[in-house]
């Protein structure tokens, strides 16, 4: 007999959707007896919350917050996380007292540019999954002069050190003395993909800036500044992964 699917959300996920914090943080509240459902304290992480249930944290009702979509022009020197036990400089420092959101993918510490954040789990999943092939445009400055054949190489695929194949499209190449500035588009988002591509090709990345995610750019945003996405921008992102 097919097992009947439970309705609602697990209590830790529900609290996370309410903007309380990460699921791990929410589990600490549950374990310590600070959470109740319909006036009954719950400590079981497998507890399901239905729409008609009343959930309280320390006696105060909590409800899922509205969906939030943010674009940040990420500065260099910040890791892409909202919580860090090692107290490193992180993008979460820029969102104090703002709705609980999660980064859409990651930019490494020294990479700058477009970083999207949202609490819309479904859209976040689709925007980061390779099968949806969401285009991201980067401007890469590398040491040395790249070969003119780099466009064809990247289109065919560059084998990385671990055997993965990275593919992309070169839009523009600008050669200046002992450096090259390449504008390219990637769609898969492998870990540190661009730095690994150019390391394989014999070039060290000096600067890396993501200038757009799908059609979303950081126009009019200084480094470290952020804004909410417009309804039109959210619709465009949804259409990209539809």
Give catalytic residue positions.
Answer: 108
Per DSSP, the residues of 177-193 read TTEEEEEEEESS--TTH
What is the rounded CA–CA span in Å between residue 90 and residue 108?
A: 11
Taking each helix axis from N to C terminus, what angle separates 121-128 and 231-240, rounded to the nearest 10 degrees?
50
Residue pair 67/117 in contact by the 8 Å Cβ criterion: no
What is the rounded CA–CA span in Å between residue 38 and residue 195?
A: 52
Counting Cα atoms < 13 Å in the Cβ hemisphere of 219 gives 6
DSSP label at 95? Answer: G
DSSP label at 80? Answer: S
What's the sign of the alpha-carbon dihedral 199, 203, 205, 209? negative
Burial profile 41-67: b = 16 or more Cβ within 10 angstroms, e = fewer: ebeeeebebeeeeebebeeeebebeee
What is the rounded CA–CA span in Å between residue 166 and residue 194?
A: 9
């Amino acid at each position: 007999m097919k097992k009947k699917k439970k309705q609602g959300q697990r209590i830790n996920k529900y609290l996370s959707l309410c903007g309380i914090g990460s699921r791990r943080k929410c589990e600490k509240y549950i374990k310590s007896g600070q959470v109740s459902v319909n006036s009954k304290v719950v400590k079981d992480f497998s507890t399901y919350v239905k729409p008609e249930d009343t959930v309280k944290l320390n006696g105060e009702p909590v409800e899922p917050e509205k969906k939030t979509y943010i674009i940040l022009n990420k500065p260099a020197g910040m890791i892409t996380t909202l919580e860090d036990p090692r107290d490193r400089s992180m993008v979460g420092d820029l969102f104090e007292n703002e709705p609980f959101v999660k980064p859409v993918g990651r930019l490494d510490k020294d990479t700058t540019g477009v970083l999207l954040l949202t609490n819309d789990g479904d859209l976040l999943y689709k925007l980061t999954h390779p099968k949806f092939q969401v285009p991201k445009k980067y401007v890469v400055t590398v040491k040395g002069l790249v070969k003119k054949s780099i466009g064809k190489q990247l289109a065919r695929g560059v084998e990385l050190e671990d055997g993965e194949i990275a593919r992309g499209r070169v839009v523009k190449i600008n050669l200046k003395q002992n450096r090259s500035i390449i504008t390219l588009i990637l769609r898969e988002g492998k870990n540190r993909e661009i730095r690994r591509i150019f390391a394989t090709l014999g070039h060290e990345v000096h600067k890396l800036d993501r200038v757009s995610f799908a059609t979303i750019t950081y126009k009019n945003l200084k480094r470290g500044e952020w804004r909410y996405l417009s309804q039109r921008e959210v619709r465009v992102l949804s259409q990209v992964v539809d």
